[in-house]
């Protein structure tokens, strides 16, 4: 169980963690920056597709470990009281953050799926899909960032 927590909860501990608190958020930020090129060129290169596949892996790895942890009864750290009403990070425990963590993780999966559909012309004509690619990847990055944020910080309803 501790190994699953280690994989699932890995964070980047440096000043740049404000932009990307987890490797997953970093991968989605790179995907967003990279998505500008296909939007301008009108085609997706093999490098972008490889990075998209890596992003899928970095989505599913914490996703699967999170499901296994949830089946074991674990909650997101910001929702878990370790004593005296605080979390392991020293913030007030906020049980409502658990469902938010799941919501943002679901949005990440949905965003990746929509990005795949846009690239493959299943959702929109490819030219339009590629023009919208930076918007979709920016949304993905925002959701990936929030997955990490809600795991650590309390929301507006701590202690309820």
Predicted confidence at residue 33, as pLDDT, reads 97
Angle, helices 23-41 vs 46-71, to 10°: value is 150
Mean pLDDT score, 117-139: 90
Give yes or no for residue 81 having a pLDDT over 90: no
Q: How many residues does the chain have?
A: 160
For residue 155, count other CB atoms closer than 10 A to its CB.
Answer: 16
What is the model's pTM?
Answer: 0.89
Give yes or no for residue 160 having a pLDDT over 60: no
Mean pLDDT score, 87-101: 85
Distances (CA, A) of 85 to 70, 91, 95, 102, 129: 21, 8, 11, 22, 47
């Amino acid at each position: 169980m501790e190994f699953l927590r280690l994989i699932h909860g890995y964070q980047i501990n440096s000043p740049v963690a404000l932009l990307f608190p987890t490797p997953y958020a970093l991968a989605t930020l790179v995907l967003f920056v990279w998505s500008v090129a296909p939007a301008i060129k009108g085609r997706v290169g093999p490098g972008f597709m490889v990075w998209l596949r890596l992003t899928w892996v970095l989505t599913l790895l914490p996703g699967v470990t999170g499901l296994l942890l949830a089946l074991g009864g674990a909650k997101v750290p910001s929702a878990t009281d370790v004593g005296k009403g605080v979390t392991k990070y020293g913030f007030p425990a906020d049980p409502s953050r658990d469902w938010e963590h799941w919501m943002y993780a679901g949005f990440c999966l949905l965003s990746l799926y929509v990005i795949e559909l846009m690239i493959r012309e299943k959702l929109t004509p490819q030219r339009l899909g590629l023009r919208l690619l930076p918007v979709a990847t920016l949304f993905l990055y925002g959701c990936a960032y929030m997955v990490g944020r809600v795991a650590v910080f309390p929301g507006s309803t701590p202690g309820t």
